[in-house]
């Protein structure tokens, strides 16, 4: 099975769980005999290509003389949007991106119909423009390569998937890792919603990362239930076991939040739970690892509650730094308001950390050895943290059985289910 896959990022250049999931998925698919061509807007040359052949869209020339591309361009409505859409940035990062992209815009000032596009691959103010350009390049890629099926990940690549389908006539699978409702609640960006809806309607099959996400796709976007299948995400095993022996340099217990500091992840509930825990026990330190648009608000909240001496902000972590943080942690908490899946608890469990997850997460559907609370129940969250910190038998049980559980949640197992959907989709379209 030859697969043309579209993604927006690929390790080690990631901003969240999407790139990590794509990496694990392609490794699992390789073991199932799939050959994956993975197209990204911008490749840096240091990506791991053992499981994929990476296509750098910035290196692809679009030949508009081709009839397929001309037809695609004729049917593509392109609108230059002066958008400040930068979903994963804190204020300092946002200012930096604004300065960088303004300079880049001055340097490249090319028409949408230029033959080669220099993508930034970032989640900055030019994101919607790059999504549209990526679709044009996707049409060119689809005309060059031989493949059996198209697989596109999240809304940034849905137009690209649709363009590749229009040019090649091959079946299309859309993989939804998070919807606009997950990211923003009810304050949806109408442009992104329309992109998602167009992608879902144009797909031959939709893979959702949880039943929670599947229900959102069906109920919020009006998609037929038989078109949407749930395949839960998975996790890569720990390659460097020495991470497990890392020692912390403080005597206090450490409770960790790791993720984007945004509305979706519920950081304010973590802070309130920390306040409740510290009101009973000051021998605890809380760590918030990540960055995002709510960063300054959360820092002010911690200062207002007079917890600064027991609360630490690390900034964005990736790679080995994530495992090092978990190796120093006694408890991990994911208080997400809406989490389509949530890979981070699995990353914590594989480093022998007991976890607390919100019931409003997809990962809660597959985990048995995790404490589950409603994101808004800060008292329940605080009680769970206190219990894991003070009752060793409780934490030991979750560590032992949680590690066994997560060891069975492998990408190679998820890849078996994905391959089945590939084969069914190809046979049904034929």
Query: What stretches of 7-64 adopt beta strand conformation (E)?
Result: 35-40, 52-56
d(CA 134, CA 164): 11
Query: Which SS3 state, helix, strand or coil, does residue 184 take?
Result: helix
Number of CB atoms found within 10 A of residue 319's CB: 10
d(CA 313, CA 307): 12
Question: Which one has a higher pLDDT value, 421 or 96?
Answer: 421
Q: Are 159 and 251 part of one and the same domain?
A: no
Residues 6+ apart with CB under 8 A from 231: 207, 208, 209, 414, 417, 418, 421
Q: Are 65 and 192 part of one and the same domain?
A: yes
Q: Are 74 and 131 part of one and the same domain?
A: yes
Q: What are phi and psi of 210, to 5 degrees?
A: -160, 165
Q: Percentage of the chain with pLDDT > 70?
A: 86
Tens-place pLDDT, residues 255-298:
999 999 999 899 999 999 999 999 999 999 999 999 999 999 99
The lowest-confidence range among 15-24, 168-177, 236-245, 337-346 is 236-245
Is 238's pLDDT higher than 90? Answer: no
Number of domain units in the chain:
2
Q: Are 220 and 327 part of one and the same domain?
A: no
d(CA 418, CA 173): 10
d(CA 321, CA 50): 23
The pTM of the full predicted model, rounded to 2 decimals, is 0.84
- For 163, the domain range is 2-234+411-429
Tens-place pLDDT, residues 40-82:
999 988 988 988 999 999 999 886 555 555 565 555 554 444 4
Q: Are 132 and 264 part of one and the same domain?
A: no
Q: Which CATH number goes with the domain that contains 315? A: 3.40.50.2000
DSSP label at residue 3: E
Tens-place pLDDT, residues 178-220:
999 988 888 889 999 999 999 999 999 999 999 999 999 999 9
94 — pLDDT class (breaks 50, 70, 90)? low
Buried/exposed code over 282-296 (b: 16+ C-beta within 10 A; e: otherwise): eebbbbbbbbbbbbe
Q: Are 53 and 180 part of one and the same domain?
A: yes
Q: Are 47 and 88 part of one and the same domain?
A: yes
Q: What Rg, from alpha-carbon coordinates, does the chain have?
A: 22
d(CA 10, CA 410): 19
Q: Are 205 and 354 part of one and the same domain?
A: no
Q: Are 142 and 229 part of one and the same domain?
A: yes
Q: Are 61 and 98 part of one and the same domain?
A: yes
Is 379's pLDDT higher than 60? Answer: yes
Tens-place pLDDT, residues 319-346:
889 989 999 999 999 999 989 999 999 9
d(CA 154, CA 177): 6
Q: Are 132 and 174 part of one and the same domain?
A: yes
Q: Which residues are bridge partners to 331 per DSSP?
A: 255
Q: Are 137 and 270 part of one and the same domain?
A: no
Q: What are phi and psi of 318, to 5 degrees?
A: -150, 165
């Amino acid at each position: 099975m030859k697969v043309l896959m579209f993604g927006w990022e690929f390790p080690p250049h990631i901003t969240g769980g999407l790139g990590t999931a794509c990496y694990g998925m392609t490794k699992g698919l390789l073991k199932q005999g799939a050959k994956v061509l993975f197209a990204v807007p911008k490749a840096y040359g240091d990506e791991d290509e053992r499981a994929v052949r990476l296509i750098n869209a910035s290196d692809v020339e679009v030949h508009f003389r081709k009839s397929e591309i001309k037809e695609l361009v004729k049917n593509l409505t392109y609108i230059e949007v002066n958008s400040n859409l930068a979903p994963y940035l804190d204020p300092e990062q946002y200012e930096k991106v604004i300065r960088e992209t303004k300079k880049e815009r001055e340097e490249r000032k090319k028409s949408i119909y230029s033959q080669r596009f220099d993508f930034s691959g970032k989640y900055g103010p030019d994101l919607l423009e790059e999504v549209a350009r990526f679709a044009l390049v996707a049409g060119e890629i689809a005309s060059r390569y031989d493949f059996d099926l198209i697989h596109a990940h999240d809304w940034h690549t849905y137009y690209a998937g649709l363009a590749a389908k229009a040019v090649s006539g091959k079946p299309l699978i859309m993989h939804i890792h998070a919807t606009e409702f997950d990211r923003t609640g009810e304050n949806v960006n109408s442009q992104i919603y329309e992109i998602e809806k167009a992608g879902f309607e144009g797909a031959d099959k939709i893979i959702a990362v949880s039943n929670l996400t599947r229900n959102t796709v069906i109920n919020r976007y009006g998609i037929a239930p038989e078109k949407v299948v749930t395949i839960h995400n998975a996790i890569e095993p720990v390659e460097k076991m020495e991470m497990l022996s890392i020692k912390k340099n403080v005597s206090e217990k450490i409770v960790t939040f790791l993720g984007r500091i945004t509305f979706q992840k519920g950081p304010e509930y973590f802070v309130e739970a920390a306040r409740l825990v510290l009101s009973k026990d000051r021998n605890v330190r809380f760590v918030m690892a990540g960055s995002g648009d709510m960063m300054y608000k959360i820092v002010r909240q911690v200062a207002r509650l007079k917890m600064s001496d027991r609360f630490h902000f690390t900034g964005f972590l990736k790679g080995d730094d994530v495992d090092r943080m978990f190796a120093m942690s006694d408890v991990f908490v994911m208080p997400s308001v809406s989490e389509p899946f949530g890979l981070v608890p699995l990353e914590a469990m594989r480093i022998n950390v007991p976890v607390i997850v919100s019931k409003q997460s997809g990962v809660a559907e597959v985990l048995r050895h995790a404490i589950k609370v409603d994101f808004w129940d800060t008292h329940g969250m605080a009680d769970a943290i206190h219990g894991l910190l003070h009752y060793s038998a409780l934490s030991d049980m979750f560590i032992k059985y949680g590690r066994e559980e997560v060891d069975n949640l492998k990408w190679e197992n998820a890849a078996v289910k994905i391959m089945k959907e590939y084969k069914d989709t190809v046979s049904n379209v034929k």
